[in-house]
Amino acid sequence: MPISRLLAFRFGFLLALTAGSLSAQAQQTDASAPLPPPTTGVPTGIELLLPQASPHAVVQQTVGLTDVTVDYHSPSVRSRSVWGGLVPYDEVWRAGANENTLIRFSTPILLRGQTVPAGQYSLFVVPHQDRDWEVVLNRVTTHWGSEGYDQRNDVIRVPVVTETAQFQESLLYWFSSVRPNGAHLNLTWERRTVVLPFEVEVHKQVLASVEKALQQQPNDWQLLAQAAEYLVQNNLQPERALNWINESIRLQDAPTNNWIKARLLAQQQDYGTAIVYARKAIKLGDKDDAAFKSQLPNMRLSLTEWQARAY
């Protein structure tokens, strides 16, 4: 055999032996190694962020000086029968989904004339088929919905009216009839709206704040005038308003406080004296002042009206 062919034969033989040895070693290694864990396609320890079936919602409204907040989860109808079905009649319902629906008041409020202290409460609804529904405020706020509900922890339970509404797929809380001393809190779902009227003692709160401010700054004529103006605007406590405005004028004889006193006296039907202070206010006013110029037409109109009534 030629030397070249002999060398090629030996080299091929060595390659075959090496390949066989490596293959056997690989097979032995694979057989002794533990199997890898099965994969799911999702990295370990990572949670998927998916939309909730009943998403979280918060609605807030300032009524007078009171902040009212409702914190809830909003379920959807999804072609289900809601009232008397998904939400049974004559049973306490969480007024939302998931954990408790919460309502917070920054100051005391009034429900049907009953005082509810400031604070946070669970809000429940008891629907009825043939009579007024009920709204319940309960002091326990850590339950999952109505699970563990105990009537002994109720702060108040009041009857409420319901109204027919346009179809609402997702439960919705909203405010209406908002005014300085009260509002309506509404719950609308499917074709029904629950209406909860409530009141706030805004005048009591304002006057307490005014008294505190006047104790700190008793010689502030503008503060006294603002306090009297509030009473005049709301036709409250005329004697107190008169004391405050007289003190304001004593400290600073200005068109603003003279005009407030004129209006206060007109409210008390003392038109003759009201005319005197109205004329004084107009005389003291700065004709170049934009704020005064904007009020001047109404001042003259009121003066003409009072003159007609006085004489």
Task: Evaluate whether 298 touches 282 at the Cβ level (below 8 Å).
Answer: no
CA 272 – CA 270 distance, rounded (Å):
6
Task: Let me know if residue 46 belongs to a domain.
Answer: no
* Domain match, 179 and 261 both: no
What is the identity of the amino acid at 172?
L
* Domain match, 208 and 172 both: no
Last residue of a domain, one of 182, 199, 216: 199
Strand segments, DSSP code E, in 43-118 are 56-63, 66-73, 102-105, 109-111, 114-116
3-state secondary structure of 14: helix
Last residue of a domain, one of 199, 226, 248: 199
Angstrom CA distances, 241 to 70, 114, 238, 261, stand at 37, 29, 5, 9
273-285: average pLDDT:
96
- At 118-147, the pLDDT tens digits run 999 999 999 999 999 999 999 999 988 888
* Domain match, 63 and 193 both: yes
Radius of gyration of the chain (CA): 39
* Domain match, 186 and 239 both: no
Length of the chain: 311
- Candidate from 51-55, 81-85, 246-250, 295-299 with smallest mean pLDDT: 51-55
CATH of the domain at 274: 1.25.40.10
- At 220-277, the pLDDT tens digits run 999 999 999 999 999 999 999 999 999 999 999 999 999 999 999 999 999 999 999 9
* Domain match, 252 and 191 both: no
Number of domains in the chain: 2
CA 91 – CA 105 distance, rounded (Å):
26
CA 196 – CA 186 distance, rounded (Å):
6
* Domain match, 191 and 280 both: no
* Domain match, 208 and 296 both: yes
Prediction pTM value: 0.77
Task: Let me know if residue 15 belongs to a domain.
Answer: no
* Domain match, 144 and 262 both: no
* Domain match, 72 and 150 both: yes
Question: Residue 56: left if φ>0, alpha if ψ -120 to 50, beta else—which one?
Answer: beta
* Domain match, 178 and 306 both: no
Q: Which residues of 174-190 are buried (b: 16+ CB within 10 A; e: fewer)?
A: ebeeeeeebbebbbbbb
Last residue of a domain, one of 199, 221, 255: 199
* Domain match, 180 and 232 both: no
CA 249 – CA 218 distance, rounded (Å):
13
What range defines the domain where residue 120 resides? 56-199
* Domain match, 79 and 109 both: yes
